[in-house]
Chain A
Amino acid sequence: MTMPDAVHSAPGQPRATPLRDVHVRLGATMTEFAGWLMPLRYASETAEHQAVRQAAGLFDLSHMGEIAVAGPAAGAALDYALTGQLSALAPGRAKYTMICAPDGGVLDDLVVYRLGGDDFLIVANAANTGTVLTALAERVRGHDAEVVDRTDEYALIAIQGPHASQILARLTDTDLPAIRYYSGHRATVAGHQVLLARTGYTGEDGFELFADPAGADSLWAALTEAGERDGLRPAGLAARDTLRLEAGMPLYGNELSREVSPFDAGLGRVVALDKPGDFVGRAALAERAQATARHVLTGLTLASRRVARHGHPVVWNGQPCGTVTSGAPSPTLGVPIAMAYLDTDVMAAATPGTGGRLAVDIRGRAEPAQITSLPFYRRERPAPPRTGEHSS
């Protein structure tokens, strides 16, 4: 049989995260990802996926890039460099945003934390950290702000799932219910000083802990121990990918690339065309916002047991009409799911009753597919508190 190449490490020395020895001890299958040696899975990736949906999972995300932008004009500099209005972000809050090329193509999708008035931390995808760093350094020039790569100064551990909060509560005095979704605060967890953020990439409630690499082992061990009775499991990149796919979250290199704009990906909301001042890509993005997109990102559900994968053609009445960007067997739904860019006119025509005519060409055989609105999976949230507090 043909073997997946992901399992063998490619030539060259991938970088190890501060938690490599932990993964080796846990018997993880390691894979090279974006120049890093990462845990692909510890045992069954399906079990890891389900642990995150039903209990909690622990992830090493130390490959992600951390870039600090600090200085009196940091907010203004980021307003110019990124698509969002970061100067309007309240200290302690976080925002999902993008950095685009002048033509509106996406260079990366980012989460930006405002740690203090003049102090921002940007989390970039591992594969794009260099690109983002270069672009930021260029775009910040002339503003009173400094851009520094801090990737090596952070281990990033995520605890995700419905039990994440109760597990973490055993290790910290921080009032976790007070930490809102998309916010981050300095906190002490199991004796470690961390930036504790309520963010994630799984579709579940959860936290991300930016910690000192020197203490990463001990923090991981403390979380593992605190979560034992709640079904916490270590989870690898394989589970992370199926979790984010079910949650309809884009992955750079699949749904997002230099060739698409945020609008193509259905993420036009990250582009603050109404913010004051110019920003890189503004003219092109304003145009794309007005134009009808030629293709749209959508969800697909397959009737077959064969799985649509990245790059497979989508056909409408036998004619090519799009391309699959991500696909996997969904552990939660039990069927193959995919995200794909489809021609806009086909999107309009391929209404649910006509699902049989839309198909994914899987190695020469057309497998019927149905358009499914994203996300495929949405967690049940507790009823909103009736305190009159606004959430955003």
Chain B
Amino acid sequence: MTIPSELMYTAEHEWVAINGTIASVGITDYAQHALGDVVYVSLPAEGSRVTTGDPCGEVESTKSVSEIYSPVDGEVIEVNPEVDDDPALVNSDPYGAGWLMKVRLADDGPEPTGLLTADEYAELTKETD
């Protein structure tokens, strides 16, 4: 499983890349592999607010459906339109073309907390593998 070292992770298998005040969010390689072929991703509307740890979308695969939990607090400024047309991008390129949404971090909100480093996430997925 690929776990890029420059990203942060949640124990629920989302990844987040924070660049200034913008956080890009997706699901991990481990997650896409466990889910199998992704056929549909439902994401929050642009402009809506997401809260750390709250469900903000769903990933439908052949065998199951999983909720996506927001790794950060803030406002959704963009969702990936390519994933709507071609959900298989989440399988083929989960950290790249298969990204899910971009969130502007809340000015008044706390700094993102509870995120895992790549090493910590690798340890977590190793245990349950």
A residues within 8 Å of B by Cβ?
1-4, 6-8, 29, 40-41, 44-46, 238, 241-242, 305-307, 309, 328-329, 331
Which of B54-62, B103-111, B114-122 lines the interface with chain A? B54-62
Of the candidates A44, A242, A307, A309, the one having the most CB atoms from chain B within 10 angstroms of its own CB is A307
Cα distance A22–B55 in the bound complex, in angstroms: 39
The residue that A4 contacts in the complex, of B58, B63, B91, with Cβ under 8 A, is B63
Cβ A3 vs Cβ B42 within 8 A: no
When the two chains form the complex, which single residue of B37, B40, B69, B128 contacts A1, counting CB atoms closer than 8 Å? Answer: B69
Beta-carbon contacts under 8 Å, B51-76 to A: 58-69
A306 to B13, CA, bound (A): 21
**Within 8 Å of chain A (Cβ to Cβ): is B35?**
yes
Contact A1 to B33, CB < 8 A, known contacts A44-B91, A306-B40, A307-B60: no
Contact B66–A3 (Cβ < 8 Å): yes
With both beta carbons as reference points, the residue of chain A lying nearest to B128 in the complex is identified as A8
Establish whether residues B62 and A7, one from each chain, have CB atoms under 8 Å apart when the complex forms: no
Closest Cβ of chain B to A85, distance in Å, is 38
Min CB distance A391 to B, Å, is 34
Give A8 to B39 CA distance when docked, in angstroms. Answer: 22
Interface residue B36 (Cβ < 8 Å from any Cβ of A): yes
Contacts of B27 in A (CB 8 A): 1
Q: Are B66 and A306 in contact (CB under 8 A)?
A: no
Q: How far is the CA of A242 from the CA of B64 in the complex (A)?
A: 12
21 contacts between A and B (CB under 8 A): A1-B13, A1-B67, A1-B68, A1-B69, A2-B12, A3-B12, A3-B13, A3-B66, A4-B34, A4-B61, A4-B64, A6-B63, A29-B33, A40-B36, A40-B63, A45-B62, A238-B62, A306-B42, A306-B58, A307-B60, A328-B62
Chain A residues within an 8 Å CB radius of B40: 305-307, 329
CB of B29 closer than 8 Å to a CB of A: no
Q: Which residues of A contact B91 (CB under 8 A)?
A: 44
Q: Are A7 and B34 neighbours in the complex by a CB distance under 8 Å?
A: yes
Distance in angstroms from B32 CB to nearest chain A CB is 10
In contact, B60 and A41 (Cβ under 8 angstroms): no
Residue pair A329, B62 in contact (C-beta under 8 Å):
yes
Determine the chain A residues whose CB is within 8 A of the CB of B14 once the complex forms: 1
In the bound complex, how far is the Cα of B125 from the Cα of A8, in angstroms? 11
Nearest CB of A to B106, in Å = 22
> In the complex, which of the residues A1, A45, A305 contacts B36, with contact meaning CB atoms closer than 8 Å?
A45
Tell which of A1, A241, A309, A329 has the most Cβ of chain B within 10 Å. A1
Cα–Cα, bound, A331→B65 (Å): 16
A307–B65 touching, CB < 8 Å:
yes
A329 and B39 contact, Cβ closer than 8 Å, known pairs A3-B31, A306-B60 = yes
Name, among B13, B62, B65, B69, the residue most crowded by chain A CB atoms within 10 Å (CB to CB). B62
Most chain B Cβ neighbours within 10 Å, of A3, A40, A238: A3
Residue of B14, B36, B61 with most partner-chain A CB within 10 A: B36
Given A306-B40, A329-B40, are A2 and B66 also a contact pair (CB < 8 Å)? yes
In the complex, A41→B37 CA distance in Å? 10
- A45: chain B residues at CB < 8 Å are 36-37, 62-63
- Whether B63 and A305, one on each chain, are in contact in the complex, defined by CB atoms closer than 8 angstroms, is no
> How many Å from the CB of A21 to the closest CB on chain B?
19
| Distance between B121 CB and nearest chain A CB, rounded to angstroms | 13
A307 and B39 contact, CB distance less than 8 A = yes
Residues of chain B lying within 8 A (CB to CB) of residue A305: 39-40, 42, 60
Q: Contact between B62 and A1 (Cβ–Cβ < 8 Å)?
A: no
For B58, B67, B91, B128, which residue has the most chain A Cβ atoms within 10 angstroms?
A: B58
Please give, as numbers and ranges, the residues of chain B lying within 8 Å of A306 by CB-CB distance: 40, 42, 58, 60, 65
Say whether A238 contacts B63, CB under 8 Å. Answer: yes
Within 8 A of A (CB), among B69-103: 69, 91
